[in-house]
Chain A
Amino acid sequence: MTDLRTRLVAHARTVLRIARWEVSRSAGTLDRRTAVIGLVAVLVAGGIAAGAAGGGVALDRDLYRVGIAGDSPYYDAVDQSSTLDPRPVSDPNVELVVSETHISVADTQTGRAAYSAFRDAVQSYNERQMAREENQSAAFPVVVDLQYRERAALVPAGSRVDGGAGGSGDAGTGGGGGTDAGTGSGTTDGDTAGDSAADGPDASDAAAADDGGVDAPSFGGMASLFGGDTSGSPASISPPFPFASLVLAFAFLVPMNFVIQAYGSSILNERINRRGELLLVAPISPGDIVAGKTLPYLLGTVAITIAIAAAVGGGVVSVAAVVPIGLLFLASTFVGAMFARSFKELTFVTVTVSVFLTTYTFVPAIFTNVTPIALISPLTLVVRDLAGESIPLGEFLFSVGPILLAAGVLFLLGVGVYREEDMFTQRPVPLKFLDALDSRISRARSVATLSALSIPFVFIAELLAIAVLFVLPVDLTVPMILLAVAVIEELAKSLHVLAAFEKARFSRTLRSSLVLGGLSGLGFFVGEKFTAIAQLAGLQSLTLGQTAFAPSGVGIGDGTGVSALVVLGLFLAPLALHAVTASVTAFGASRGRSAYGVALAGAIAIHLVYNLQVVSALG
């Protein structure tokens, strides 16, 4: 125990020494141009944050004038909206007039936009009010009485028509047009969603005609989704767009793109002209070197994240959700810098990392209020944190866990090639990748371990596939996701086996192929079971989630009315699938790269057929 403690202290000391050196050296190399770029990055992030925190970028402040009495139940909603400017009812220069029973709007594009902004303002106001309500059961559901009224001219000029009725005007129930929007967005039968944008003057009617108003006002659409109601793809719904929170959340990502530039350059610098060779011959481990070189950039990311969180009102959850993203940015950049042969290639790598991770984290967060799939991105947690929602631990782990695991595995792979023989040789990036995989294979069982470790990437890739294919109709989405799943999983099970054969780690025999294939399939099967964490977030309740994970054997059915033998069969069937397909690819890999390509195609075909069968069986 003492020995372990001594060693840990020694490692920590070495890491800190290298980190200190990295900081002082980087500070010495920081030229004016880099400093200016860094400053611009901070200002951009700060500008976004400040703009969003101030209720938008201020271009729309007091954009629409609303004639409204001070004692109107809607007055506070209008007054608190940055877009709306409350004026006396007698003021003729208004776009909208709110009386006790009527909402009158000018029959112009501006008038309609003002009405739409009014609805949004009322909805937001209602949501804030409801969120403040301690007794949520008393707050939901709310029954709203709708009255359909004809429009009537209000202003003598004749340019105004009577807007759609906003409801009973009962402020206590949060009535009004705003309630309709919430309803339409959260239900699959909300045909009005698509129409509302296009119908122009009839928009209010369409919204008012929505028959699904039992849960209005919607709690940001989440109630229907997490409460077990049906949900659909964006093709059939209109998401309530948490613009302000999204912009604020995006501000967290901006500085990371600059941090990884500096970090990637520092790592590649160690490889240029064999500069890092002397560190390798010092009595320190490659892991210490990498940790020491990474620590300043990680701490910098944490500091920036805390500063942004403080600026935009994010809490501990925001910081805890963003830091793993930063770690994944660094881990991906580290591996990229270990593979890149030049600064030109490094630029390509960092841009790819930026685009991919920004997409992965930002796009799902757009659907924060729509679907639990959004939880694949920790940025969704930030959006929700900024909206004042609490985050259950299970959802937090679901969102952050794969990101942390993926970052850890990437660092593991990178450290594997942080050695003289790999650092200073010029090989194409794909071959370097195979080298990195091979560096973690010392015996047959390493193949199983690597297969299990690939799960975070498989998880991320499959969830990303879901997020990307989510916009398509479900009929088309399901088979495409099945294909994507087959491709991703077969690659994950076979690439390291190919690397091992390429490096002559094992004999190229049928027996070796079967052993390695079986171990790879077993490792993948075991690792795959950890994806059951997905159920914590209710992802399995979604058709798409079932599509992605049920074929793999996670959470197949509930066993009701099925014999134990069948359940066992269903449980073990994926193991057989993975072992068989991994053996096919392993055999191909043992015969060379071309044969591997053919075998991979075959394995994907087998996997796809299996998936389709499972989906059919599950109905």
Chain B
Amino acid sequence: MITVENLRKTYGDFPAVVGSDFSVESGEVFGIVGPNGAGKTTTLKMLAGLVEPTGGSASVLGYDPEEPAMRRKLGFLPEESPLYEDMTARSYLRFFADLYDVPRDVADERTGAVLDRLDLEYRDRRLGDMSKGMKRKVAIARSLVNDPDLLIYDEPASGLDPLTTNVVLEFVRELRDEDKTVVFSAHNLFHVESICDRVVIMNRGEIIARGTVPEIRAEHGETTYRVFTTVPLPETLPADDEVGGEGEERHVAVVDEMAAVESLREAAEAAGGRVADIRTDEASLEDIFLRLAREAPTTSEAEGGRGRAAGGEGVAGEHGQRAPGGNGQS
């Protein structure tokens, strides 16, 4: 579905994406995670044909991303929902359907079904009078107006309230069930962990981890064990958890190796007590991400002087997020 080889993008002297390689299989939900300025949006825009790569190659649906034929099979949702606010939701969706040569009745039926699922009413209301969540739903409906094979969603739940976020994420899950391929980025790693089949973690333009969530956890995550004892040991602290039998004291130690668990067991028994419980804590994607980000090279160590360039001509990092103007008119 998507093959990316050594994909690079440089803004002036600033390397926004540094040699990305990954592939996305048909029918999977693929997540790109990372902090601000990691290169997620730039990567997605290169895949959507909006931004021309500086180097490397990308094949999307078998096409060069800049070919119009590819865009007929693509649904793109940018991070913001920049709609034409003087139009109604219905006329807006019909206009885009027209651009994709989708007959009006088909478009009405298709987008109507999506908006029903997203629970959006007031379709004849002006977009400028809608809330952010409602606009997001309209934008999602627009991304599906051409019944695309591939969906590229940039932060689909960004800035939405928890309720709307859940609706949107649930909808993405349903898209996977409909055999759509979804590539999306997110800051909120819980979202990624909950719906993505595979993930790449980006930092400073580079992919620093990749695979399924369990694979990443196995490779980069640390499993810790909380060991509860009935007697105090030098390694333990008093625990409040309800562990073991009624009236027993509870003490806990956190270790990261099974050998340490065995040592605690022996020590407890030697002290006349026992191990009441052992609990396994697996690292979340967020834990892994934070650790990898900490371990990544600092600005001065990174190649190409990324930090130096970031202060250049105003295109660094959040390049894609800026809007012209600034006088409040829209």
Binding site for B on A (CB under 8 A): 14, 17-18, 21, 24-25, 28-29, 268-269, 271-285, 340-344, 419-421, 423-427, 431
A17 to B72, CA, bound (A): 17
Tell me if B99 and A277 are in contact (CB < 8 A).
no
Tell me if B326 and A341 are in contact (CB < 8 A).
yes
Tell me if A280 and B50 are in contact (CB < 8 A).
yes
Tell me if B324 and A340 are in contact (CB < 8 A).
yes
On chain B, the residues within 8 Å of A276 by CB distance are 82
Tell me how far the C-beta of B191 lies from the nearest C-beta in chain A, rounded to whole angstroms.
23
Tell me how far the C-beta of B77 lies from the nearest C-beta in chain A, rounded to whole angstroms.
9
Given A281-B50, A342-B327, A420-B51, does the pair A275, B322 have CB atoms closer than 8 Å? no
A528 to B266, CA, bound (A): 96
With beta carbons under 8 angstroms apart, the residue of B51, B71, B82 that contacts A275 is B82
Tell me if B314 and A283 are in contact (CB < 8 A).
no
A281 to B82, CA, bound (A): 13
Tell me if B325 and A268 are in contact (CB < 8 A).
yes
Tell me if A272 and B330 are in contact (CB < 8 A).
yes
23 interchain pairs (CB within 8 A)?
A14-B99, A17-B98, A24-B91, A25-B84, A25-B87, A269-B330, A271-B325, A272-B324, A272-B330, A275-B82, A278-B78, A279-B99, A280-B50, A284-B68, A284-B99, A341-B324, A342-B329, A419-B50, A420-B51, A421-B51, A424-B323, A426-B314, A431-B313
Tell me if B325 and A342 are in contact (CB < 8 A).
yes
On chain B, the residues within 8 Å of A431 by CB distance are 313
Interface size on B, residues (CB 8 A): 39
B45 within 8 A of A: yes
B142 within 8 A of A: yes
On chain B, the residues within 8 Å of A18 by CB distance are 99
Tell me if B76 and A281 are in contact (CB < 8 A).
yes
Given A25-B87, A268-B324, A342-B326, does the pair A283, B69 have CB atoms closer than 8 Å? yes
> A29, A272, A281 — which one has the most chain B CB atoms within 10 A of its CB?
A281
On chain A, the residues within 8 Å of B71 by CB distance are 281-283
Question: What per-residue 1/0 map shows which CB atoms of B119-156 lie under 8 Å from chain A?
Answer: 00000000000000000000000100000000000000
Given A278-B78, A281-B74, A283-B71, does the pair A426, B51 have CB atoms closer than 8 Å? no
On chain A, the residues within 8 Å of B95 by CB distance are 21
A340 to B327, CA, bound (A): 12
With beta carbons under 8 angstroms apart, the residue of A21, A280, A342 that contacts B324 is A342
B315 within 8 A of A: yes
Other contacts beyond A275-B83, A343-B327, A431-B313: 14, CB < 8 A: A24-B91, A271-B325, A272-B329, A273-B330, A274-B80, A274-B323, A281-B49, A283-B72, A283-B99, A283-B100, A342-B326, A343-B329, A424-B322, A426-B322
A268 to B325, CA, bound (A): 9
Q: Is the interface of A mostly helix, strand, loop or mixed?
A: helix
Nearest opposing residue in chain A for B327, CB measure: A342
On chain B, the residues within 8 Å of A426 by CB distance are 314, 322, 324, 326
Which residues B57-104 have CB closer than 8 A to chain A? Answer: 68-69, 71-72, 74, 76, 78, 80, 82-84, 86-87, 91, 95-96, 98-100
B286 within 8 A of A: no
A342 to B322, CA, bound (A): 13
A277 to B50, CA, bound (A): 8
On chain B, the residues within 8 Å of A28 by CB distance are 86-87
Q: Is the interface of B mostly helix, strand, loop or mixed?
A: loop
Nearest opposing residue in chain B for A420, CB measure: B50
Given A281-B50, A420-B45, A425-B314, does the pair A273, B323 have CB atoms closer than 8 Å? yes
Binding site for A on B (CB under 8 A): 45, 48-52, 68-69, 71-72, 74, 76, 78, 80, 82-84, 86-87, 91, 95-96, 98-100, 142, 313-315, 319-320, 322-327, 329-330
On chain B, the residues within 8 Å of A284 by CB distance are 68, 99
Tell me if B78 and A274 are in contact (CB < 8 A).
yes
With beta carbons under 8 angstroms apart, the residue of A14, A269, A271, A421 that contacts B52 is A421
A341 to B324, CA, bound (A): 5
On chain A, the residues within 8 Å of B324 by CB distance are 268, 271-272, 340-342, 423-426
A350 to B87, CA, bound (A): 26
A421 to B53, CA, bound (A): 11
Nearest opposing residue in chain B for A425, CB measure: B315
On chain A, the residues within 8 Å of B322 by CB distance are 424-426
With beta carbons under 8 angstroms apart, the residue of A14, A271, A277, A425 that contacts B78 is A277
Tell me if A25 and B86 are in contact (CB < 8 A).
yes
Nearest opposing residue in chain B for A340, CB measure: B324
On chain A, the residues within 8 Å of B315 by CB distance are 425
A285 to B99, CA, bound (A): 11
On chain B, the residues within 8 Å of A25 by CB distance are 84, 86-87
A591 to B78, CA, bound (A): 39
Tell me if B314 and A273 are in contact (CB < 8 A).
no
Nearest opposing residue in chain B for A279, CB measure: B99
Q: List 3 tightest A-B contacts by C-beta distance, closest first.
A: A420-B50, A275-B82, A283-B71
Nearest opposing residue in chain B for A289, CB measure: B99
Nearest opposing residue in chain B for A423, CB measure: B324
On chain B, the residues within 8 Å of A274 by CB distance are 78, 80, 82, 323
On chain A, the residues within 8 Å of B68 by CB distance are 283-285
A431 to B12, CA, bound (A): 13
Given A29-B86, A343-B329, A424-B324, does the pair A282, B52 have CB atoms closer than 8 Å? no
On chain A, the residues within 8 Å of B320 by CB distance are 420, 424
A427 to B72, CA, bound (A): 32
Tell me if B84 and A277 are in contact (CB < 8 A).
no
Nearest opposing residue in chain A for B77, CB measure: A278
On chain B, the residues within 8 Å of A283 by CB distance are 68-69, 71-72, 99-100
On chain A, the residues within 8 Å of B83 by CB distance are 275
On chain A, the residues within 8 Å of B76 by CB distance are 278, 281
A280 to B71, CA, bound (A): 10
Tell me if B82 and A278 are in contact (CB < 8 A).
yes
Tell me if A272 and B314 are in contact (CB < 8 A).
no
On chain B, the residues within 8 Å of A423 by CB distance are 324
Tell me how far the C-beta of A49 lies from the nearest C-beta in chain B, rounded to whole angstroms.
34
A226 to B132, CA, bound (A): 68
